[in-house]
Structures are given as C-alpha cells and as structure tokens.
Amino acid sequence: MNLVRAFSLPFIALVFVPIACAASPDRPNIVVFLTDDQGYGDIGCFGSESLETPNIDRLCQQGMKFTDFYVHQRCSPTRLAFMTGSHAHRAGCTKVIYNKDRIGIHADEVTTPELLKTAGYTTGIVGKWHLGEWDAFNPTRHGFDFFYGFMDDLDQGSGIYRNLERVESIKRKTDGQHSPELLDAAIGFIRENKERPFFLYYASPLPHTPWSPNTRFKGTSKRGAYGDVTREIDWQVGELMKTLDEQGLASNTLIVFASDNGPVLGINGGDAGPFRDGKWTDFEGGIRVPCIMRWPGTIKPGSTNSQITGIIDLLPTFCAIAEVDPPGDRVIDGRNILPYLKSEKVEQPIHESFIVPGSVIRHGQWKLLVRDLKPGGKSGREGKRPSAAAGSLFNLQTDPGETQDVSADHPEIVADLRRRMNEAVRELEANSRPIGRLPSR
C-alpha cells in the first residue's frame, strides 16, 4: 500500500504540550460522518442520476462542496491519516489492519480527539475504528471519551463494544440491523453533551460489502442492494442533522461528510463518477472522494472549493478552530484549510501537490504515474478495465478520467514531477514514525 502526500509544505518545529483548556461555548461542535467505500458518483449533488440522497444534497446546498478531496485508497490508512494529520505511510501503516496483525495506531501518536480534548471538547466515536482490533488500540485509549462500535476478537469474532466492554456479538459489521443502534448512540452522545463543545466521529460501516440494508430500506432504490444501503446512509445523515436542529446546535456545528476511499468496482455496486477505477488503486477513482462541509455563518451556502484538500487537513483545521496548536515535534502533512471554509482570498494554493510516493503525483492540473497502475479490486472483479503504464501523464483539468497519456507532448512537466516525487520520498523516509505493535507472544 502506498500513501498520499501534499508536498512542498514547511515543517515548523513547535513542541506540543497538552494543556487543559476550559470549554468555551464559542467553540463549534464538530461532527465528521465518514462512509466506507462510497464512490464520488454515488451522491446526487456529485452527479448521481440513479441514487436519491436528499439529506446529503441538502447538506451540500447549505454548505461547501469539495471537488478535489483526497484520501488513501483503502480503509485503515485513511483513518490513520485522519487521526494523526499525517499520511499513513509516515505514521507507519499503509495496509488494512486486521485483528491477526497485532498492530494498530501507536501510543505516541497525538490524535485529533486528544488535541480537541485540550480545548475542552468531549469526544466520541460511533461505528468503525479499524486502527487496531486489540484492547491496547481501543479508541478510548487514543483520545475518545466514548466509543460505541465495532471491534474484532480472535476468539469471539466481531462484536459491538461500548468503550472497553463487549456488549453484543455480531456476524458482520455491514448488516443494516445495526444502523438504528449506531444512530441512537450518536444521538444520545449529542444530547448528553449539548451544553459543551463536542467532537463526534460517526464512522459508518456502509456501503462496504456485503450489502445488507435495513429492512426499512430494502427495495427502495433503483440500484439494488447498494442503492438501498446508500439510502440508509442518507437517512442517518438526515437524522443527525435533525437532532442538531432539535437541540439548537446546528448553527454552531461544523459537519464534515466524506468517504474513506473510492468504490469497490466490478460487482455492480459503487460509481466513481467521472474518475477512473476505484478502491485499491491510485487512479482518481480510488483516492478522490466526495466531501461536503457545513458550518452556518462561516461556510457560504452552496459554495464549491476545487483546490487540493484531503483527510490529512482535518486535524490541523480542527486545531485552528479550537485554538490549539497541532503537535510540533513531528511532521504533520495536513494544513489548516480554514481560509477555504471562510471563502477567504488565498494567494497561493494551500497544497500545490498531492503525492502517493513511488506511485503517482498530482501537481496543479497534471498527474504523473511513476509506476504501472492496475485496476483495483480482487482477482476476477477487474473485468476488462485497462492498466496504465509508468510514465503516463494526464491533464486532470481536461481529462479527469485519465484516458489520454500526454507525456510525449510535455517532457519538461514529466521531468519536473519526477523531481518533486524524488524529493518527497527522501523527506518522508527521513521523517517517518512506527505503527504500534503488541509484544511478541
């Protein structure tokens, strides 16, 4: 697994020391709703003509649509990047973390919830963690005050946990019967903490395979089980929005909606929209995902941002909002994109480049493949989707689907992007951190 990286950004060495701050009613609540394997083209406001997502579309109408929002090409790395503000490769893990691996987020990482707690926030996560399935990696040991969601145990299998306690054994995380339980836990967290700033991370297990929609949504879409599950996601988003309205919190809450990677293709499911391929690949369909942010009074309704942004930017942006410093004793790849949220004039793009070291680099409108890219997905799912050769250059402004290699016409751009890639790889190798590991048995 590779990583994504926004390059050519300065590192300011400021030592982070956690300092408890009094909760301020002026600090906004923060809700992040992250879906699992949802495609760019699976939402109405991002161009879907076959899926109905009225609540997500309303969120978009009331907020800002991010058209160039990047993540990793698979689950655990994206979530690690969100928690650390660093690309997953820098934080030591570029693969999916399974319970047999005996690895997870390192205890020395300074996480998004830990930083927000220093500003007086109460922190909660509902749903999918996927950053270590052992007790040492439980979310409550990495900055969350409250956890209601999924963990795996080698002996007992998958289960739902409340903080450190296993409360229910389950067959699969994607069964729609769990959605009401997850939603109730999230709504309860909001209501219990309405008098103080809170951070809620709603990590939906949907629409990851296998698709098993809740009974109330079966047969309600035009796209089979995948469409039904998408409607289920939209319902959950709507219920959270409704709760914020009922509790009088909507005007002082930043909502972020995004997916952890592109869709699984080849099984009549997700849609990457105008982009090539999907999950498991560094084509745009695998690493560029839908993202919406709403913050009444700060974000202009119905606005669009087309600059390079990514999941790595959430930690430093939340720090800016909460008025705390991000850790300064390590490289943080993300940057504060609050100026974008405020529609302020920015002389230079906050990120000029986006890099998956050893794989691809995007700089402005140009994207270079440094290695051969094959279609994503498991064996047999690729169908006839083509590969692309190392050295291919695409103009994403005119060719977002990466269909026409123009490297022969722009050798100077190819040379410049290769140089930038080499510099990025050298810097990252010099400033990487280990993943957490359990002691050998």
| Positions marked catalytic | 75, 130
Rounded distance between C-alpha atoms, residue 53 and residue 72, angstroms:
24
Cα distances from 247 to residues 26, 55, 166, 187, 236, in angstroms, run 16, 18, 30, 10, 17
**Helix, coil or strand: residue 248:** coil
Q: Mapping DSSP to helix (H, G, I), strand (E, B) and coil, where does residue 362 land?
A: strand
Give the H/E segment covering residue 285.
helix 284-287
- Cα–Cα distance for residue pair 97/93, rounded to 1 Å: 8
Span between the terminal Cα atoms of the chain, in Å: 26
Do the Cβ atoms of 132 and 208 come closer than 8 Å?
no
Cα separation, 149 vs 164, in Å, equals: 10
147 φ, ψ to 5°? -135, 125
What does the block give as tokens for 63?
């907020």
Distance CA 127, CA 182 (A): 7
Q: Compute how many other C-beta atoms are within 10 angstroms of the C-beta atom of residue 184.
A: 13
Q: What are phi and psi of 367, to 5 degrees?
A: -135, 125
